[in-house]
Structure 1
Amino acid sequence: MKSHVKALVVGGGAVGASIAYHLAKAGWQDVVLLERDELTSGSTWHAAGLLPYFNMSYATTHIHDYSIKYYKTLEEETGLNAGFSVVGNLRMAQSQERMDEYMLYASTAETVGVPYEWMTPGQIKERWPLVHTDDLVGAIYHPTDGYINPADVTMAMAKGARQRGVTIERKWQVDGYEWTGNAWRVTLTKMAEKGGNLVPTDEQMVVEAEHVVTATGNHAQRTAKLLGIKTPAIPVEHQFIVTEPDPALVEYRKTNGEHPVLRDADAKWYVREERGGWILGPYERNAPARFEYGVPDSFRADLFPLDLERIEEEYMSMIHRIPSSETVGLKDDYNGPICYTPDGNPLLGPAPGLRNMWLAEGFSFGITAAGGAGYYLAQLMVEGEAEIDMASLDPKRYGQDWMTTEYAARKNEEAYEHVYILHHPDEEREACRPLRTGPVYNQQKALGAQFGCVNGFERPNYYGPTDAADNFDFEARSFRRGGWWQYAVEEAKAIREGVGLVDATAFAKHRVYGPGATAFLDHFTCNKLPKVGRINLTYALTDAGTTRTEYTIVRKGETEYYLVSAGAWQAYDHDYLMKAAEDFMAETGQMVVVQDVTTQWGVFAIAGPKSRDVLKELIKDPEPETALSNKRFPWLSARDIELGMCPVHAIRVAYTGELGWELHHPIEMQSYLWDQLMAAGEKHRLKLVGARAQNWLRQEKSYRAFGNELGRDATPLEADLPRFVDLSKEFHGKAAMKETGIRSKCVTLLIDGPEDADPWGREALYLGDEKIGRLTSGGYSVAFGKSIGMGYVRPDLAVPGTKLKVRMFRELYDAEVTEDSPYDPKNATIRADG
C-alpha cells in the first residue's frame, strides 16, 4: 500500500466507491480506497437497490438525478452490468392531501428537470391490472428510474475507479487519525478472518493523506470518536421480505413487461418484483436504532432477528393493494441496519473543526444517492465548491455542543418512521422536544405559542388559540393554507399597523475582537465595515465567489465586533468563522479572538409603527422622550440602553421592514424583560408574532434569507445585492465573484395563485412554455392581499413588470416581477422619527 496519498477514502460500500471514482475522474492522482472487510459488506449488501427520485430537498434531488443517469453509463465504461432495471416508479395516493404532497414534490422535480407523469386510478388499473385501485385518488409516475443491484453497481464503480488509477485495499481498519498541520497520519491495522469473525492482526502501518473522506456507514459513531467529533449518524433496523413466485404475476409477465416499483405511501411500503414474486419493504413504527455506541466487532455482513409482528399491518396492506399476493408464501426475509440522520438526508461535506477531513455518512438511501454524492463531493474537494448549494447536507447543520447520542437515536427512529408520513412543508416533528428552550418558553406556550425547532431550539412559529389541545399544530398543517394561516395573517397585520414582538433568541451570535479583528473581518466579508456604534449587513463568500454566510455586523469598538447570523446555521457559521480566523492569524501574525456567545444572549425583536411608544414606557434615560429618536438612535445603529432593570444591547433594525429594534439581552434576564415588555405593550395592543408571519413580511421587503435566496450556488451580485458589496476593497472570493458574472438574478414576485394556497418556495417559474427559473421563498402578503414569492430568473427577465407563470398544484398561475422592496420601497416607515 502507498504510504503517501492525495486522498484516502475510508469505506468500501456504494458511497465510498463512488467518491473514489469521482475524485479520480476529477483529476486527482494517488487516491486509495480502504475497506475493513470486503467491498459491499456493510448495508450495501442487503439494500433493496431502489432508486427513488422523490425528495423535497433541491440539493438531494440533484444528487438522485445524477445517480440515476450515471448508473446507466457504467456498463459501457467498465464492461460490468450494474443490474439497472429501468422499470419506473409508481407512487400511489389514497387521499387528495397525498396528491397535494406529490404536486409540491413535483414542483421541486420540475426545477431540476426530473421527468414525471400523472396517472388516474383507471390508467393504473388498465396498465397494471394486478393492482387494486378502487380506493386510490391517483399517482405520480417516474418512467426513468427503477431499481439496481447494489453489489453490482458498487463493483462497477470500483472497477471504474481502478481504471482511473485508484488503489483499492481490503481488510485494513483505521484505528487512528492525527493531523500534522498539512496532512493526516492515519494508523491502519490489518484484519483477518478467524472463526468466521474479523479480527485485528499485529500488522500495522501509517498512511499520510492530504485529504481523508469517511464513508463508514454503520461505523459512523466509531469514526466520530476517532476524530473527536459528534455525529447524529446512527443506524435503524429496516426489514423487508421476499415472497415466493406469485402465479398471477408470472402469468401477467408472459405478455407484459416488469411492473414498476410500487409505493403506497399511505400504507408505508414499497413493493417491487423479484424472480416472479414480490419484495415488500415497509417503513413501520417502532423500528429501533442500533449501534448507538459503535458496531460490535463480531457484526459483519450480518442481520438482526426478525420482528414480523412489527410489520404485520404493512404486510396486510400489501395484500389489499395486490390481492394475488395473499396466497404466496415467504421466501426470504431481511432485517439489517441502515444508517440514518434526524432529517433523513446524508451528512456530506467538511467535518466540523477539522482540516481536509470530509464526511460522507448517514445515507439512509445510499444506493440512490451514492453516484451523485461522489460527484458533488468531488467537486467540493477538487474545485472548492460544488455547482449546487450543498449547505442543506453539510455535517454541521446539527449543532455540535448540545447534540447527544440519545437525541440522535430517537430522532433517527422518527426519521425512519416518517419516510412515508405526509411531508407537510409546515411540519414540525415531535420527537425529543422540547429540548432547548428559552426562559420564557412556558409563558409563550400558555399564550398559545405553537413552536418550531431551529438548531434544536424552540421558537414560536405562530400563536394559536390559548385553549387549543397540544395537537393543534399537527391538525393545522396542510399543503395549502393550514389552520395556522389565519393567525399568521393577524400577526403580520399587527406589525404593519401597530406593534408586534418576535422571539429571535435562536439567532447565532459571535463576538470577534482583538488587534487583528478589523483587518480580518474587512477581508473576510464583502461590504464596508461599519463605524463604531453602527451596523452593516454583509456576506462572507466561498472560494467560488458565492454566498457562504450572511452576517449583521455591529461594531462595538475599534477592534470589537458583534456578529449576528441565522440561528439554524450556528455550528456551520462558527466553523467557517473559526477556520478563516485561524488562516488569517497564520498568514499575518495578528491576533483575532472568535467567541460563540449564542446562548449568552436572548433576543426580542419589537417592530411596528408603535414600537417606539412601547419602549418609551421602559427606557431609563435622562431624556426618555428623545432617547429613541432618529437623532439619538438612528436607523442602522446600535446602543446600550436600559429597559427597566435590564441592560440591553439594542440594534435599530427590523427583519420585518418596519420601525423596530432588536433587543439583545442577558439570557438570565429574559423573563424579567418579557414581563416588562408585555406590561408596557398592553395599552398599545402589543401582539406576539411568530416566525411565519415574519417570513412573509421580510419577503414584502425583498429581504433575502440565507438557505433560501442566499447560498453557495449564487453570488451576492446574482442575489441582486450590489449595495452590500464594496468593490473598492479586496475581499475573499472577489475575483471569482466577478469572473462568474450574472448567470441568474433574484427577484420578488406578486402572484395571483389559488384562493386556498400560497407558494412554499419550491415552485418552477415559466415564461410561456419555457421554464426560466424557480422560487426560493413563498408566502402571503398582507400589504398586497395576494401571494408573494422570491426566486431566481434569467437576468433579462429580472425587470419590474415582467409577466411570468408559477406552477402550483399542476396549474400555471400569473406572477409578476415587482420592484425590489415592493412594500415601502423608500424605507419611510423603518426610518420614521418620533
Structure 2
Amino acid sequence: MAQLKTEVKALVVGGGAVGTGIAYHLAKKGWDTMLLERDELTSGSTWHAAGLLPLFNMGYATTHIHKYSVDFYKSLEAETGLDAGFFVVGNLRMAQTQDRMDEYMLYSTTAETAGVHHEFLSPKEIADRWPLVRTEDLRGALFHPQDGYINPADVTMAMAKGARQRGVTIERKWQVDGYEWAGDHWRVSVTRMEDRGGNLLPTEDREVIRAEHVVTATGNHAQRTAKLLGIRIPAIPVEHQYIVTEQDPALVQWRSTNPQHPVLRDADAKWYVREERGGWILGPYEKNAPARFEYGVPDSFRADLFPLDLDRIEGEYMSFIHRIPSSETVGLKDDYNGPICYTPDGNPLVGPVPGLRNMWLAEGFSFGITAAGGTGHYLAQMMVDGEAEIDMASLDPKRFGGWMTTEYAARKNEEAYDHVFILHHPDEERPAARPLRTSPAYDRQKVRGAQFGQVNGWERPIYYGPLDAPEGFDHDTRSFRRGGWWQYAVDEAKAIRETVGMVDATAFAKHRVKGPGATAFLDWFTTNKLPKVGRINLTYALTDAGTTRTEYTIVRIAEDDYYLVSAGAWADYDGDYLRKSVQDKEAEFGRIEVQDVTTQWGVFALAGPNSRALLKSVIKDADPETALSNKRFPWLSSHRIELGMCPVQAIRVAYTGELGWELHHPIEMQNYLFDLLEKAGQAHGLKLVGARAQNWLRQEKSYRAFGNELGRDATPLEADLPRFVDLEKDFRGKAAMQALGIRSKCVTVLIDGPADADPWGREALFDEAGEKVGRLTSGGYSVAFGKSIGMGYVRPELAVPGTRLKVRMLRELWDAVVTEDSPYDPSNARLRQDG
C-alpha cells in the first residue's frame, strides 16, 4: 500500500460533491491539498441525490453560489475529459396562485442582481411547449432555460479528476478519529478502513497528518465531526424520498420528436419531477419527514437507504398525476429514501468554526450538488484571500449560537425540509421549536397583542396587532405585498414620530471588554475614535480585507472598561471574532477580559418627542427636571440612572432618529421596569412598537443595518460612513480598506411604488435608460414621506441627491430618487432637543 501523505497545507475531510468541489478550488488557488474519504467517493448523500440544479434561491449569497456551480459544471468536460452528466433542459417552476407568482416576482429581481437569466411563462405558453403538462389551474411559471439536472456521481468524479490534475491527493478508506490544535497547525489522527463482509471496519493502520488548515465536508456524519471538535453543528439529516416510474408511453412518444422536458416543479403541490429513461422521477417535500442520525450515523450505515413510506407522500403523488395525467397508469420502477442534511434555516454552514483556528465547516447541504462548485469557489477565496467577493455571513456557522441543542436542530431541520416549497414570504416566521428564548416581558407583550419574530432564538415583537382581530384578519397570513400587519406598523411608527414608543431590544448582543490592554486593543480593533468616559460612539471592526465585519455601539464605562452593543442576530458571530482578535493582540497590548453579557441585560428603547417627559416622571434624582437635560445628559452619552427601583445604564441614542434613550437594565428586573414605564406612559401617549416599524424609521434616518447595508463585501467608506472612520489612526484592515477604494456607494431612495406593496430590500436598481446600476439592501414604508423607502448600493457617480433611478417591483419599474443622507431631520435637531 502506498505511503499516506502526512503533511499538507489544507486537508479536506469528506469525498462527496461538496468536498471534491472544495479540494478542486483550493488547488486552483495554489494550495497543497489532500482529500480524505472514509469510504468511497460519492458514498454519502451524493450517490442517491436526484442531481437537480435549481438556480432559484431567495438568498443573495446562495444565489451566487448556485449560479457559479451551474456555470462551472459546464466547463468540466473540456478541462478533465470526463462528461459531468449535465443535461441543460431548463427548470420550470409553476404557480397555482397569485401569491406564488408574487414570490417569483420577488425572486426575479434578486436573480437580476446576481445575473441569473430567467423568463416568465403564461399557462398557454406552458401548454404550447409541453402539452403533457396540465395548465388550466395554473397562473403562470418561472423558467430558467440554462438550468437542468446532472449526474451526481459523474460531476463528483469530474471535479475529483480536475482536483488531481491540479495536484490534489485523494485518499479513500481513511477515517478521521481526532483533531488536535498544535498552535500553528492541526494534528489529524486517521485510521485506515477496509471492507469486511460488507461492513466498513477500522484496521490497525494509523497515521497523523499535519495540516495547516482543515475543512470538514462530512455530510451526514456532521454529528461525529462535532463530537471530535467539541462543538455543536446543527446539521442533521432528514429523510428524503423520491420514486422512479416505469416508462410513460405518452412521454416516449413525445420524446421521439421533441427534446426533454425541463425539470418541473409544482411548488404549490410540493414536488419536483424530471424525466428518467422514458419515465419520471418524482421527488416530494412532504410533511412529517423525520430527522435521522441526531447523534451520529451508525457504523453499519454506508450507502444505505430507509424503507419507503408511500402513505406519507400519497397527496404529492396524486397531485403529480393531476399535473401530468399520462402518468396515472404508469407503474413504479424504483424508490429511494435516503438521508439529506439540513440546518434550521435550510442554508448550509460555510465558514470558520467558532472558537477554533484554521478549522472550516462546509456542512448541512440540503442542495449539495447545486452548491458544491460555488461553495468550493467562495470558501477557497475566504481561506486563501481572507474574504470572498460576496458577503458569506448569511451562511456563517456562528449564526446559530451556543444555546442551540440537538433537539432544537432536529425539529427545525424537519421544518426546513417541509418548507422547501412553502411560500417564502419576506415576513415569514416559522413556528417550530418556539418560543424558546424569551425575555421576562414576553408574556406581558403577548397579552398586549405582540406578534413575535425570532432572531438568534430570541422572541422579539415585530408588531402589536389587535387582541380581538377584525373579521378577515389573520396574524398568520403572510404576503409579498402589504400584509394585514402593515397598518399596525404604520401606527407604531407614527407614535414614535408624534408621541413616544417603546421597543424591546433585549436581543442586542452585548459584550464587556475591560482590563489594562482594553483601550489599546479597541483603538486598533475599531475604526472610530474611542469615546471619553461616559460617552458613546458608533464604530466598525473590519476584516483583514478591509470590509465591514461588525458594527458596534461602544459605551466607555471607565478608562479601561467598555460595553459593546451589536446586532442581536450576530451575537456568537461577533463574540467569536472579538475573542480571537483579543487572543491575537493580548501579548502586545496587555491583559484584556471579554465577557458575553447578552443574557444579563434587557434593553428597552424609548423614543419620541415625549420620551423625556415620560422618563422624568419615574427617574429618581435630586433634580429630576434637569437629570435628562442636554447639560447633564447630552446626546451620545451614557449614565447610570435609577428608574423607580430599577438601576439602568441609560444611553442617549435612538435607532429611530427621535429623542430617545436605550435603557439597559438587569434582566431580572425587566417586568418591574416594563410595568413602571407602561403605567407612566399612559399620560404621554406611549405605544408599544415592534421591529418592523423600527426598521422603517431607521431608513428615514439612513441608518445602515448590519447584514443589510453593512457586510463583508463593502467597506465603511463605501457605506458612506466616513464620519465613523478616523484615518488619523492605525486600525485593523485600514490599508486594505483604502486600497479597495469606492467601488459602489450606499444611498437612500424614496420610491413612488405600487399602492399595495413596498420593497423588501432585494430589488434591482436601474438608471433611467434601463441599465442595471445597483441593488436595494433594505426597503419599507416611510410615514414621514408617505411613500416607499429603501437603501442600497449604486455606482459611485449615481450616489448624488436628486439622481433619478428605477426600482424593479412586481416585474415593473417604478420611479425612485436618491435623497440626501438622513432625509428625515438631516440636522438631527430632534435627537438633540433639550428639555
Fold similarity call, TM over 0.5:
yes
Cα drift, residue 382 of structure 1: 0.2
Stretches of structure 1 lacking an aligned partner (at least 5 in a row): none
- Report the CA distance between 1:467 and its aligned residue: 2.5
Distance in structure 2 (CA, Å) of the matches to 1:468 and 1:177: 56
Q: Report the secondary structure of 1:18's partner residue.
A: helix
The residue matched to 1:553 in structure 2 has which SS? strand
In the alignment, structure 1 residue 2 sits paired with structure 2 residue 8: no
Q: How far is 1:192 from its partner?
A: 0.8
Q: C-alpha displacement at 1:4, in angstroms? A: 1.0
Alignment of 1:609-688 (within 5 A): 609-688=609-688
Within 5 Å, which residues of 2 pair with 1:284-295?
A: 284-295=286-297
Which residue matches 1:426? 427
Q: Spell out the pairing of 1:184-333 with structure 2 (5 A cutoff).
A: 184-333=186-335
The 1:798–1:565 alpha-carbon spacing in structure 2 relative to 1, beyond 3 Å, is same
Counterpart Cα distance in 2 of 1:764 and 1:551: 29
Whether the aligned pair in 1 keeps the contact of 2:520 and 2:589 (CA below 8 Å) is no
Decide whether the 8 Å contact of 1:4 with 1:209 is kept in 2. Answer: yes
Kindly state the Cα deviation for residue 769 of structure 1 after the two structures are TM-superposed: 1.7
Aligned to 1:366: 368
Q: Cα deviations across residues 241-261 of structure 1 (Å, max 9, x unaligned)? A: 000010000000111110000
**Cα offsets for 1:128-148 (capped at 9, x unmatched):** 000000000000000001000
- Tell me the secondary structure at the aligned position of residue 833 of structure 2: coil
CA distance in structure 2 between the aligned counterparts of 1:543 and 1:65, rounded to whole angstroms: 27
Q: Distance in 2 between matches of 1:685 and 1:787?
A: 26
Q: Could you list the per-position Cα deviations for residues 107-166 of structure 1 after superposition, in whole angstroms to 9, with x for gaps in the alignment?
A: 110000100001000000000000000000000000001000000000000000000000
Which of 9, 19, 30 matches 1:27? 30
Cα-to-partner distance string for 1:696-731 (whole Å, 9 max, x where unaligned)? 000000000000000000000000000000000000
Taking the TM superposition and a 5 Å limit, the aligned residue runs for 1:82-93 are 82-93=84-95
Deviation of 1:468 (Å):
4.0
> Equivalent residue for 1:11?
14
* Separation in 2, partners of 1:535, 1:582: 25
> What is the Cα deviation at residue 585 of structure 1?
1.1
CA displacement 1:465-485 (0-9 Å, x = unmatched): 012499976533100000000
Q: Is the 8 A contact 1:427 1:474 kept in 2?
A: no
Residue identity matched to 2:717? L
C-alpha distance in structure 2 between counterparts of 1:262 and 1:55, whole Å:
16
Contact 1:107 1:763 in 2 (8 A): yes
Q: Report the equivalent of 2:710.
A: 710
| Contact 1:18-1:373 at 8 Å conserved across structures | yes
SS of alignment partner, residue 245 of structure 1: coil
| Contact 1:611–1:660 (Cα < 8 Å) also in 2 | yes
In 1: Cα distance, 2:497 partner to 2:289 partner: 47
Distance 1:171 1:110, change over 3 A: same
Q: Contact 1:746–1:791 at 8 Å: present in 2 too?
A: yes
Q: SS of the residue aligned with 2:150?
A: coil
Query: Is the 8 Å Cα contact of residues 87 and 258 (structure 1) preserved in structure 2?
Result: yes
Structure-2 separation of matches of 1:524 and 1:22: 31
SS in structure 2 opposite 1:45?
A: helix
The aligned residue for residue 401 of structure 2 is: 399
Aligned to 1:726: 726
Question: Residue 164 of structure 1 corresponds to which residue in structure 2?
Answer: 166
The residue correspondences of 1:515-664 to structure 2 (distance < 5 A) are: 515-586=516-587, 588=588, 590-664=590-664
Partner of 1:758: 758
Checking the alignment, whether the CA contact within 8 Å between 1:476 and 1:484 is kept in structure 2 is no
Partners of 2:334 and 2:322 in 1: CA distance: 21
Could you tell me how far apart the structure 2 residues matched to 1:199 and 1:472 are?
A: 60
Q: CA deviation at 1:604?
A: 0.1
Shift of 1:9: 0.1
- Can you list the C-alpha shifts for 1:631-675, whole angstroms capped at 9, x where unaligned? 000000000000000000000000000000000000000000000
SS in 2 for 1:206: strand
State the TM-score, normalized to the length of structure 2: 0.99
Equivalent residue letter for 1:211? H
1:130 pairs with one of 129, 132, 148 = 132
Give distance in 1, aligned partners of 2:372 and 2:153: 12
Query: Is the CA contact (8 Å cut-off) linking 1:539 and 1:547 kept in structure 2?
Result: yes
Separation in 2, partners of 1:239, 1:227: 31
| Counterpart residue number, 2:410 | 409
CA RMSD of aligned residues (A): 1.0
SS of match in other structure, 2:436: coil
Q: Following the alignment from structure 1 to structure 2, what is the Cα–Cα distance between the partners of residues 536 and 589?
A: 22
Q: Is the 8 A contact 2:640 2:647 kept in 1?
A: yes
Cα distance, 1:195 vs structure 2: 1.2
Partners of 2:473 and 2:14 lie apart in 1 by: 45
Deviations 1:15-42 (A, max 9, x none): 000000000001112x100000000000
Aligned residues of 1:758 and 1:778 also touching (Cα < 8 A): yes
CA distance in 2, matches of 1:750, 1:480: 17
Q: 1:103 offset after TM fit, Å? A: 0.4
SS at match of 1:396: helix
CA contact (8 A) 2:541 2:549 kept: yes
Counterpart position of 2:183: 181
Distance of 1:738 and 1:136 partners within structure 2:
52
- Matching residue's letter, 1:785: G
CA distance in structure 2 between the aligned counterparts of 1:620 and 1:673, rounded to whole angstroms:
13
Check conservation: 1:352, 1:396, Cα contact below 8 A.
yes
Q: Does the CA contact (< 8 Å) of 2:745 and 2:794 recur in 1?
A: yes
Letter in structure 2 aligned against 1:3:
T
Worse overlay, 199-208 or 39-48: 199-208
Q: Matched residue pairs, number?
A: 831
Question: Aligned AA for 2:5?
Answer: K
Preserved contact between residue 521 and residue 589 of structure 2 (Cα < 8 Å): no
Aligned partner of 1:354 in structure 2 is 356
Mapped to 2, the partners of 1:637 and 1:371 lie a distance apart of 49
Give 1:797's aligned residue.
798
Q: Which amino acid aligns with 2:504?
A: D
| Counterparts of 2:158 and 2:198, CA distance in 1 | 27
Counterpart in 2 of 1:80?
82
Name the structure 2 match of 1:56.
58
Contact 1:475 1:483 in 2 (8 A): no
1:231 offset after TM fit, Å?
A: 1.1
Give the letter for the 1:261 counterpart.
V
Q: Is the 8 A contact 1:190 1:204 kept in 2?
A: yes
**Hey, what's the Cα distance between the residues in 1 that align with 2:29 and 2:820?**
42
1:475 is paired with a residue whose SS is coil
CA distance in 1, matches of 2:380, 2:492: 45
Per-residue Cα deviation, 1:246-296 (whole angstroms, up to 9, x for no partner)? 000000011111000000000000000000000000000000000000000
1:431-580 equivalences in 2 (<5 Å): 431-468=432-469, 474-580=475-581
How many angstroms apart in 2 are the aligned matches of 1:211 and 1:475? 46
In structure 2, give the amino acid aligned to 1:24.
A
Which runs of 5 or more residues in structure 2 are unaligned? Answer: none
Shift of residue 2, structure 1, vs aligned partner: 1.4
Paired with 2:474 and 2:234, the residues of 1 have a C-alpha distance of: 26
